[in-house]
Amino acid sequence: MQTITSGYRAIGLLIDVNWERFLFPSAVVVGLLIGAYISSLIH
């Protein structure tokens, strides 16, 4: 049980440190998809 808890904390710390690295590219992708959707509505 203690091993599971420490592993969970390590994963949480890893997510805390690296969330920007995942957030920024996903925001770019979402922005591109929204732009493509709006463009398809206009044309």
4-37 residue pLDDT tens? 666 667 777 777 766 677 788 889 999 999 999 9
What per-residue confidence (pLDDT) applies to 43? 75
What per-residue confidence (pLDDT) applies to 2? 65
What per-residue confidence (pLDDT) applies to 22? 79
* HEC secondary structure over 1-43: CHHHHHHHHHHHHHHHHHHHHHHHHHHHHHHHHHHHHHHHHHC
What per-residue confidence (pLDDT) applies to 34? 97
The pLDDT of residue 3 is above 90? no
